[in-house]
Amino acid sequence: MTSTSSIAVLGTGIMGLPMACNLVTGGFNVTAWNRSSTRHTTLMEAGINVMPTPTDAVRGRDAVIVMLSSGPVCEEILFGEQGAAYAMAPGTLLIIMSSIGRNEAIDLAERSHSMGLEWLDAPVSGGEKGAIEGSLSIMAGGTEQAFERAKPILAAMGRSVHIGPAGTGALAKLVNQLTVATTIAAVSEAMTLAEVGGADPARVREAMLGGFASSCILDQHGQRMLERNFTPGGPSKHQLKDTRAACDTARELGLDLPLLKLTDQLFSDFVESGGGELDHSALLLEVRRRNGLAI
């Protein structure tokens, strides 16, 4: 696939918008569709053709990238009553970059293959910052042939690794999200313990960044916690979707993962209490609420 290949992007929200813009920068001809029209001006200014429906966006494209909120939404847009997949020519490369469940990815891959489409489940990690910078970590599941074909496209958005067959990219993302979510919970508790114990959380974080506890979560989300800056890069409701999917997968595989269960419950309680639209680093507020601290 050459640098002049045509790509459709379905879903141009917090992540999809900068990803689409980076594809244009990488020399691709990009069309896009988004459920909301709020980003249309930005897309057009970036040289992206905005289409009124998903079907219009994908027709005649060499590859289609899907960056929607969940597995059921991906299924609806692709295979619903007026599904976009039916407008794709055989041989079209379909890349699902949304975070979806392992079994959802396997099912959608089988349906795509039956229509003659090439498939990759290729979810990402790195948040809004990584999407803007084009430095996302991309975990790809599918055939070696599909991955090789997708490499130039994925390179415009970040660094990709071929994990294995269809479904393994989605599984890798659940593993990633388990790690992110439990680390956010740990940093939330650490910042709370430091404050209540009489230490300056900012200085505690500074000290930790020089040792084995250092991590991107402590660095970036620890700073968000200190600033109480919870404008969403990754909304808590989406983090809960992923921890739920990870719990489901663990259960299907006969695994008992107690840290995952506890973290999933924390996010569930936080979302239920009204925090779903806040960044997932705002889990700090749930820890504080449970301890009767001001939030």
Q: Which of 129, 173, 237, 261 is catalytic?
A: 173
* CA distances from residue 233 to 16, 127, 237, 260, 277 in whole angstroms, order as listed: 12, 6, 12, 22, 10
Q: Residue 4 — pLDDT band, cuts 50, 70, 90?
A: very low
| Residue 207: count of CB within 10 angstroms of its CB | 12
How does pLDDT run across 5-23, given as a tens digit for each residue? 899 999 999 999 999 999 9
Residues in the chain: 295
Going along the chain from its start, the domains and CATH numbers come out as: 6-165 (3.40.50.720), 172-290 (1.10.1040.10)
Mean of the per-residue pLDDT values of the chain: 95
How does pLDDT run across 193-220, given as a tens digit for each residue? 999 999 999 999 999 999 999 999 999 9
173 is catalytic: yes
Query: Quick one: which of 70, 260, 263 has its CA closest to 170?
Result: 70
* Residue 74: per-residue pLDDT: 96
Q: State what percent of residues in the chain have pLDDT above 90.
A: 93
Any residues with CB less than 8 A from the CB of 202 and at least 6 apart, and which? 226
Rounded distance between C-alpha atoms, residue 38 and residue 179, angstroms: 33
Q: State what percent of residues in the chain have pLDDT above 70.
A: 99
Rounded distance between C-alpha atoms, residue 109 and residue 153, angstroms: 19
Q: Residue 37 — pLDDT band, cuts 50, 70, 90?
A: confident
User: What's the pTM value of the predicted model, to 2 decimals?
Assistant: 0.90
Any residues with CB less than 8 A from the CB of 29 and at least 6 apart, and which? 4, 5, 6, 7
Helices (H) and strands (E) in the chain, counts: 14, 9
For 81, the token pair is 């009553």
Q: What is the mean pLDDT of residues 53-61?
A: 97
